[in-house]
Structure 1
Amino acid sequence: MKVVAILALDGVLPFELSVPGQVFGTANLAMPTPHYEVRVCAERRTVTTSADHGSFLLHTPWGLDALTEADTVVIPGHSGFLDPPPSAVLRALSEAALRGARLASVCIGAFTLAATGLLDGYRATTHWQHADELARRHPHIDVDPAVLFIDNGSLITSAGIAAGLDMCLHLVRRDLGADLAAATARRTVMPLQRDGGQAQFIEHAGPSVHDASLQPTLHWMESNLHRPLTLAEIAEHSAMSVRNLNRRFRAQTGTTPLQWLLRARVHRAQQLLETTDIPIDHVADLTGFGSPTTLRHHFARLTGTSPHAYRTAFRSQQTRISAHAME
């Protein structure tokens, strides 16, 4: 059983504290036998939640030593996120990382994770309102305020509060595969993957008009991933100029049309690798990459692993889950 430890600092935000337990606990309900043990950990075993969000006392049997025993450590935001974290907390997080645990922050919890120095040299995100401050305080972190979450393998950061749900569902997907993650998402009444990024929620000063939704274009692109779509063809389908298309994409998804298309192709490749035995070269054709070499290049760049290694890990996990279901 995998241990998920949730760090509760004084002033912790109640929703962010409860999200990991809700998602990982719900994943347990979708399996024949539980896969996760969820622990809430606090330095003094008793913490007070954020006064601005309904203050109450929280008692837990788990101290910081439980962080070093965890497979996953989740770091929610807290009201004092701009203050230096306690040295004992930084030490426990660093020891957990050194031992091989993956560390995941929710929203402004990224400030606590960043204070360990572990995020230096990596791309990370946090709530868009505080992204500039995170970048100012930690110039060695590549802060991206446009996305919902960023997975660096053992270091994962998520954006605004609800993005913690997206991130935790993503971790369930990494652990247990797409089917179990989808079942967990359905039970929590959440889409397994939300369209767009955090950019669609950022407040822009004084907009004069409201842009039309790109949703029909995104659906069309997803339906034509196997084709060698060009920027001009996407713009023609959208009935707008290339310049206007790029502007709309930046505003609504936080990225360019071709970058969105690339990520959609990699995501489709992940689905095919998880759920089928289709050869890699055929996966490359079905996802519009054209050649296995191109698929491997972009897949590795966006996921940190090769298509073969990804299939081995996720197909093996699915096999184990199917075996459990038959017992």
Structure 2
Amino acid sequence: MRILAKNSIDKIGEKITVKGWVNSRRDHGGLIFIDLRDHSGLLQLVISPDFAESFELAEKCRDEFVISATGVVKERAENLKNPNISTGEIEVIVENLEILNRSEPLPIAVSDNGQKSNEELRLKYRFLDLRREKMQKMLRRRAEFYREIRKFMENHEFIEVATPILANSSPEGARDFLIPSRVHPGKFYALPQAPQQFKQLLMVGGIDKYYQIATCFRDEDPRADRLYGDFYQLDIEKAFVENGEEIRSEMEVLIKDLVKNFAKKELLSEEIPRIPYEVAMEKYGSDKPDLRFGMELIDLNDALAKTEFGVFKNAECVKAICVKNGASL
């Protein structure tokens, strides 16, 4: 049975089998050292000429080869322990080595240390980029994030329902992605911009509280806060709601919990501020203002009432933002 690198610490004196990628290989003449990498960490393998077949294979190993190694876990000598990794106090004396898959030199770096690859190459070879420790941590972190959301929603008696992906076109705020139908030539499905129609049908069907982490497809130009094509949102619906504040109050608990307990951030205020749309547009010119900077729009209508400058004279309203020390920028 395969043992993960992180679990080998408790196996001193036992024979185990580990599998993973060759993170690095060092040939010291009489001995070959291989740092084996799996998703849980690094583990040092020691291959000696006493096991001739394994030693011969170890000489052929290169970075990113996929290998399986069986051997006895031993504690390292005190002067050879590595405090920089969790398995730094042990090593595996390999008796049997098997190459499961060979690797050509990779087109991108798969280590967070040393030389970095540019983003375009990383995206082209995304399946290799995912081997990086940072990417592995991000994927695990996102899974934890989803788990926290689901735990909250289940505790509040929401039912998770996966709504259809192939559907008819709906009047949303962007263009649809269209998928031609094989069964009905000349007709098309549309990928949902949001599950709006489906969740309303669920309410009609008697589902009191619905949610899902929904994929939304929109054929629109990319923005700073949104990628092209698809994005994910926590989609919810409740029956018999009197006003939006009922939803906001319930979801505020989740938002604050994620910020404080998941992201470990400090809230400036325990109460999330509410700003009416009209006030936000009047003071900030945006329905999603960044309140950290306090840069409110200043009404200049009175100050410019007698101006002869055509742009201001003919305008219905003139407002400006005061940028302190802006002249020095």
Q: TM-score normalized by structure 1? A: 0.26
Which one has more relative contact order, counting CA pairs under 8 Å at least 6 apart? 1
Between Structure 1 and Structure 2, which shows a larger proportion of helix residues?
A: 1
Between Structure 1 and Structure 2, which shows a larger proportion of strand residues?
A: 2
Larger radius of gyration, structure 1 or 2?
2
Q: TM-score normalized by structure 2? A: 0.26
